Amino acid sequence: MNKYAEEDLGWNSFLEQQLDSFPQGLQKGRVSAENKTNYQLILPGIGEVKAECAGKLLYNAETKSELPKTGDWVLVQYLEDEQKALILDLFERQNVLSRKVACDSTEEQVMASHVDKVLIVQGLDQNFNINRLIRSVVLVQEAGIAPIILLNKADLIQDAEAKVAEVKAHFSKIPVLALSALLNEGMALVDDLMNAGETFVLLGSSGVGKSTLLNRLIGAEVMSTQASRAVDGKGRHTTTRREMHLLPNGSILIDTPGTRELQLMSAGEGLVLTFDHISELGQQCRYKDCSHEVEAGCAVLEALEDGRLSRVDYDNYLKLKGEDAYMESRSSQKAYLKKKARDKQLHKDIRSVYKDRKFKSW
């Protein structure tokens, strides 16, 4: 059993500052995988153990997103004789990569936490989709995490350079690398970007070659792989859970199942960072509250008209901005209804206490 040090697992000063708020004598650890009924943890100085949540932690969690997720740092009671642990509490998350669950709700699905960078993987075959790539970048930057774009399967097309140039035109401030994980081409450049002690997440749809990429980074065939369909570039899910891997170069990589769609919980800051060129143009508009759709004197529409702004960026900006406004209104409505329900229950409890006291005084 490997006995990793705290630093090997991504421990940092943000987490260190929280220790004084917890009881002494407990063991800290990091969630490496979430199973259906339990968790897999790595405890510094001990190694991998199975764990379950304490009943109090389960009871106090109002949503699933508040329970331990892959990448979380937790405080546990370690049962040495049984070589298992009981999760008592969570450290505050430095950041969280999450999306909205794939249905008509405002429920958050946590994909990973305490992340330094996200490797957004897209295939250069039929899987290539600039709109999906833009959405992924917005999701990552909204979480306050740095994105790196990996364009895989460069060996399958003749015009890889043109596709890379297209992506760089949209993301001038984000690293963009073309590679072939299958042929192990370009992998040294990826390895150079992954610093020891930092946590990375693999994000991409099924069929982009994430499992092959992970195998190359680990240096062993630890993940099964399947060929994607030639007709559309889609593949089957070979990764079934979010799992953390410690790489030979000292970095930490969290693999995620293929994402068929990425619905955003919110996108305000992510929109500003991803479409910073539109934000800069917006400062030149005649009206401060310009919607960039119909107003006279709109610098964004002028840039669209003369070709300084691409139609793809403009359409994606408006679409994601609309989704963000919708989610904000849904979240506000949900918060209002939740408060209304709490107030109703409180008044009910007060009336019950009053009646009980009145009955006793009789």
Report pLDDT digits (tens) over 212-261.
999 999 987 776 555 544 444 454 445 567 999 999 999 999 999 877 67
Q: Are residues 81 and 132 in the same domain?
A: no
Q: Are residues 26 and 124 in the same domain?
A: no
Q: Are residues 49 and 142 in the same domain?
A: no
Split at pLDDT 50, 70, 90, the class of 183 is very high
Tally: H helices and E strands in the chain: 10, 13
Q: Which two tokens stand for residue 84?
A: 């298992």
Query: What pTM was computed for the model?
Result: 0.84
Number of domains the chain contains = 2
Split at pLDDT 50, 70, 90, the class of 192 is very high
At 33, phi and psi to the nearest 5? -165, 150
Q: Are residues 105 and 204 in the same domain?
A: yes
Q: What's the pLDDT score for residue 19?
A: 93
Q: Are residues 134 and 245 in the same domain?
A: yes
- Phi-psi label, residue 23: left if phi above 0, alpha if psi -120 to 50, beta otherwise: beta
Q: Mean pLDDT score of the chain, rounded to an integer?
A: 87
Q: Which domain holds residue 158?
A: 96-255
Q: Could you tell me if residue 209 is inside a domain?
A: yes
CA 296 remoteness from chain centre: 38
pLDDT tens column, 90-108: 999 999 999 888 765 678 8
For the chain, percent of residues with pLDDT exceeding 70: 84
Specify whether the CB–CB gap between 249 and 196 falls below 8 A. yes
Specify whether the CB–CB gap between 8 and 47 falls below 8 A. no
End-of-domain residue from the set 255, 289, 316: 255
Domain of 70: which CATH number?
A: 2.40.50.140
Q: What's the pLDDT score for residue 206?
A: 86
Q: Are residues 206 and 149 in the same domain?
A: yes
